[in-house]
Amino acid sequence: MTTMDPSVGTDRARALFDEELAGVTSAAALQDLRNRWMARSGSWVAAFMELVASAPPDQKRALGRGANTLKKHVEAALAEREAALAATRRPAGAVDITLPGRAPRLGCRHPLSLIREEIGAIFSRLGYQVLEGPEIEDDYHNFEALNMPADHPARDMQDTLYLETPLTPAAGDPPTRGLAPRAPQPLTLLRTHTSAMQIRQMERHDPPVRLVAIGPVYRRDSLDLTHTPMFHQVEGLVVGRGVTLADLKGTLLSMATALFGPGQDVRFRPSFFPYTEPSAEVDIRCIRCNGGGCPMCKRTGWLEILGSGMVHPAVFEYVGYDPDEVTGFAFGMGIERVALLKWGVEDIRLFYENDLRFLEQFGR
């Protein structure tokens, strides 16, 4: 606090006031400051006014102007600070708005469920019906109608899990066409792909067909970084007049773009599946390195993502479609594979541990 001494002059007094005001943080301190500078008697301003009154007439005018300027400055600065202090004052009953809120607990989505839903939505948008179907199947729908009669070597490609005791299927709508036995067959195995559902659909409906079948499938694969005995598959089927392999390419390109963002490319490599001819493995341009080569794509610039092809005429004969009238394409993709690529997951087993530390990384 400064000692009052008007002999220092108004300019010096103003600088002293500003210094003191800068240190004021409370209403009480502000009142004290006001008293010492503005009180009717004994204050700085009062002292200056007395000085003016007692000055010789020729100095009165100049001293008076200086004193008035100081007074106005002090008044204005005090008012401004008073308003600023008022603005920061906590109203009665105020809460600490910086404490954490009471958040409702929200669950997290499972990544496989997210991808499954996303793919379903993509194909719904493209005008496909989305189907699920039974997980326990008969041999006819899982193998035979897909051009894999008993003892077909391709059955080795999918090591199958069988039931100890076959189940009796629920009575349902029998197939209306094709070579399927009209009586329901005993359910003997866990479906190795969702293709069985496609057969069931074709057996009951005329072409055109435009569907994806999604759901869990089962194979006798030991658990490792890239295999689980149960995994999820999405399989697409389009049948109609003039459906071509090029249509499949356009469709898959569009799916890849929807799943992984713009700028995708797909590559077809000839392959073999008993239920398609021609058959192709499909790669997408590596989403990590964009084709430049990286560990994820084993430096090839491409990522294998699905198997596909043109529906084999024998399959059409099994379901009672005329292979001279219609053509079709089909593709099958592992949902885990998409999730592994999309999120850079390195161990497929994480999808089945249901570890919350993992699940919480996929948002709510």
Partner 1 sequence: MKVLLSWVREFVDIDEPAEAIGRTLSLRGLALEGLEPMGDDALMDFDVTANRPDCMSMAGVAREIAVVYGLPFRAPSMRVGAAGPGAPDAGAPAPPSPLPAMPITIESPDLCARYVGAVADVTIAPSPAWMADRLSACGVRPISNVVDITNYVLLELGQPLHAFDHARLAGPAIVVRRARPGESLTTLDGRPRRLTSDMLVIADAERPSAIGGVMGGADSEVSSGTRRIVLESAWFKPQSVRATSRALALRTEASMRFERGADPTIQAVAMARACELLAQLGAGTPGPAIDVHPVPHQPTPLHLAHARVQGLLGMPVPADEVRRILAALGFEVAPAPGGWSVVAPGWRVDMHRDVDLIEEVGRHHGFEHLPATFPGVEQAPAPSDPRIARDARARKVALAAGFSEAISFAFIEARHAGPFQGDEAAVALANPLSEKFAVMRPSLVPGLVEAVSHNRRHGRRDIQLFEIGTRFSPRGEMRAIGLAWTGLATPDHWSGGRRDVDFYDMKGVVEQLASLFDVELTAHPPAAGSVAAAVLVPGRAAALTSGDRCVGWLGQLQPAIGDAHDLPASDIVYVAECDLDPLSPTGIAPARMTTPLPRFPAAVRDIAMLLDESLSAATVRGTIRSNAPATLVSVTEFDRYLGKGIPDGKVSLALRLTFQAVDRTLTDGEVEAATTAVVEVLAKKLGAVRR
Q: In the complex, which residues of this chain contact Zn ion (CB under 5 A)?
A: 286, 288-289, 294, 296-297
Element (H, E) at 335: helix 335-343
CB 213 within 8 A of CB 234: yes
Q: Does 310 bind partner 1 (CB under 8 A)?
A: yes
Q: Which of 114, 110, 175 is nearest to 145 (CA)?
A: 175
| CB neighbours of residue 334 within 10 Å | 19
> Is the CB of 72 or the CB of 298 nearer to partner 1?
298
| Gap between the Cα atoms of 189 and 270, Å rounded | 30
228-257 binders of partner 1 (CB under 8 A): 228-230, 238, 240-247, 249-251, 253-254
List the x/- string, 163-202, binding to partner 1 by CB under 8 A.
xxx-x-xx-------------------x------------
CB of 250 to partner 1, least distance (A): 4
| Gap between the Cα atoms of 7 and 2, Å rounded | 13
CB of 238 to partner 1, least distance (A): 5
315-334 binders of partner 1 (CB under 8 A): 327, 329
- 40 Cβ contact list (under 8 Å, min separation 6): 46
Secondary structure (DSSP) of 272-318:
EETTEEEEEEEEEE-TTTTTS--TTTTTSSEEEEEEEEEEPHHHHHH
Which residue is listed with tokens 């329901």?
184
> Is the CB of 142 or the CB of 327 nearer to partner 1?
327
CB 334 within 8 A of CB 232: yes
CB of 79 to partner 1, least distance (A): 40
Cis peptide before 278 (omega within 30 of 0): yes
Q: Does 363 bind partner 1 (CB under 8 A)?
A: no
Q: Does 95 bind partner 1 (CB under 8 A)?
A: no
CB 208 within 8 A of CB 234: no
32-71 binders of partner 1 (CB under 8 A): none
CB 185 within 8 A of CB 203: no
CB 37 within 8 A of CB 44: yes
Q: Which of 361, 351, 333 is nearest to 228 (CA)?
A: 351
Q: Does 78 bind partner 1 (CB under 8 A)?
A: no
Q: Does 313 bind partner 1 (CB under 8 A)?
A: yes
CB of 302 to Zn ion, least distance (A): 8
**Which option in partner 1, Zn ion, none does residue 85 bind, with CB closer than 5 to 8 A by kind?**
none
> Is the CB of 166 or the CB of 291 nearer to Zn ion?
291
Cis peptide before 313 (omega within 30 of 0): no
> Is the CB of 61 or the CB of 227 nearer to partner 1?
227
Q: Does 20 bind partner 1 (CB under 8 A)?
A: no
> Is the CB of 47 or the CB of 280 nearer to partner 1?
280
| Gap between the Cα atoms of 82 and 27, Å rounded | 7
CB of 34 to partner 1, least distance (A): 41
> Is the CB of 76 or the CB of 163 nearer to partner 1?
163
Range in contact with partner 1 (rule: CB under 8 A) among 32-40, 62-70, 286-294, 354-362:
354-362
Which of 69, 162, 186, 322 lies at the binding interface for partner 1 (CB under 8 A)?
A: 162
Which of 211, 255, 259, 319 lies at the binding interface for partner 1 (CB under 8 A)?
A: 211
Residues in the chain: 364
Range in contact with partner 1 (rule: CB under 8 A) among 22-30, 60-68, 80-88, 277-285:
277-285
113-142 binders of partner 1 (CB under 8 A): 113, 117, 120, 124, 127-136
Which of 200, 233, 279, 318 lies at the binding interface for partner 1 (CB under 8 A)?
A: 279
CB 202 within 8 A of CB 322: no
